[in-house]
Chain A
Amino acid sequence: MRAALEAKRRHADVALISKVHPVRSHSVAAQGGINAPLGQSDTWESHAYDTVKGSDYLGDQDAIEALSREAAQAVVDLENMGVAFYRGPDGRLAPRNFGGASTARTYFVGAITGHAILHVMYEQLLRAGVKIYEEWFVTSLVNEGGFTAGLVAQELLTGRFHPIQAKAIILCTGGCGRVYEPSTNALICTGDGMSLAWRAGAPLMDMEMVQYHPTTLPSNGALMTEGARGDGAYLRNALGDRFMSKYAPNKLELASRDVVSRAEQVEIDEGRGVDDGLGAKSCVYLDCTHLPREFILERLGEIYEIARQFANVDITTQPVPVRPGMHYMMGGIKTNVDGRTRVPGLYAAGECACVSVHGGNRLGANSLLDTVIFGRRAGAHAAEFARQVEFRPLSEGAVLDSERRAQEVLGRPANGDSIAKVRMELGQTMHQYAGVWRDGKGLNTALSRIYSLKERYQRAPVQDKGKVFNTNLVFHWELGYMLDNAEAILVSAIHRTESRGAHYRTDCPERDDQSWLKHIVLDYRPGAAPGIQYAPVTITRWKPEKRVY
Chain B
Amino acid sequence: MQVTYLVKRLNPERERSPRFEQFSLEVGEYDSVLDGLIKVREELDGSLALRCSCRAAICGSCAMRVNGEPRLMCKTRVRDVAEDGQVKVEPIGNLPVLKDLVVDMGPFWEKVRAVKPWLEPPPEKPEREYLAPNEAMREVVGALACVMCGACVSNCTVWEVDPNFLGPAALAKAHRFVADPRNSDNAERLKQLGEYTGIWDCTHCFYCVQACPKDVAPMERILALRREAIAHGYTNHNGVRHSDSFAQSVKQSGSLNEGRLAVESQGYLNLPALLGLLPVGLRALRAGKMPSPFHHKRPGAAHVKRIFEKVEGPRS
Contact = CB atoms under 8 A, between A and B. Distances in A.
B185 to A, nearest CB: 13
Q: Which of A76, A89, A223 has the most CB of B within 10 A?
A: A76
A418 interface: yes
A420 interface: yes
Given A84-B137, A312-B30, A464 B55 contact: no
Given A28-B54, A86-B137, A418-B42, A80 B98 contact: no
A186 interface: yes
B54 A29 contact: yes
Interface string A361-378: 000000000000000000
Interface residues of B, number: 59
A333 B56 CA distance: 28
Interface in A181-229: 186-188, 219-220, 222-223
Nearest to B47: A464
A245 B299 CA distance: 76
A312 B31 CA distance: 11
Interface stretch (A303-311, A323-331, A343-351, A484-492): A303-311
Contacts of A24: 51, 53-54, 59-61
Interface in B142-159: 144-145, 147-148
A93 B30 contact: no
B61 A471 contact: no
A469 B49 contact: yes
B129 interface: yes
Interface string B63-74: 000000000000
Contact of B61 (A20, A94, A116, A119): A20
B189 interface: no
Given A187-B52, A220-B55, A468 B99 contact: yes
Interface in A35-86: 38, 76, 79-82, 84-86
Interface stretch (A120-128, A257-265, A285-293): A120-128
Q: Which of A21, A124, A310, A471 has the most CB of B within 10 A?
A: A471
Interface in B163-191: 180, 182
Nearest to A303: B56
A88 B135 CA distance: 10
Nearest to A82: B119
A468 B53 contact: no
B112 to A, nearest CB: 9
A109 interface: yes
A109 B49 CA distance: 34
Contact of B58 (A29, A123, A310): A29
A472 interface: yes
Contact of B180 (A84, A87, A89): A84
B56 A29 contact: yes
B30 A420 contact: no
A112 B75 contact: no
B96 to A, nearest CB: 12
A463 B43 contact: no
Contacts of A126: 113, 117-118
B128 interface: yes
A157 B55 CA distance: 23
A116 B57 CA distance: 14
Q: Which of A93, A94, A298, A469 has the most CB of B within 10 A?
A: A469
Contacts of A438: none
Nearest to B98: A469
Given A91-B133, A468-B11, A468-B49, 8 more contacts: A21-B109, A76-B128, A115-B144, A116-B144, A188-B53, A219-B30, A463-B46, A468-B98
Interface of A: 20-21, 23-26, 28-29, 38, 76, 79-82, 84-94, 109-110, 112, 115-116, 119-120, 123-124, 126-127, 157, 186-188, 219-220, 222-223, 298, 302, 305-306, 309-312, 418-420, 462-472
Interface of B: 11-14, 28, 30, 32, 35, 41-43, 45-47, 49-61, 75, 77, 98-100, 102, 105, 109, 113, 117-119, 121, 125-126, 128-134, 137-138, 140-141, 144-145, 147-148, 180, 182
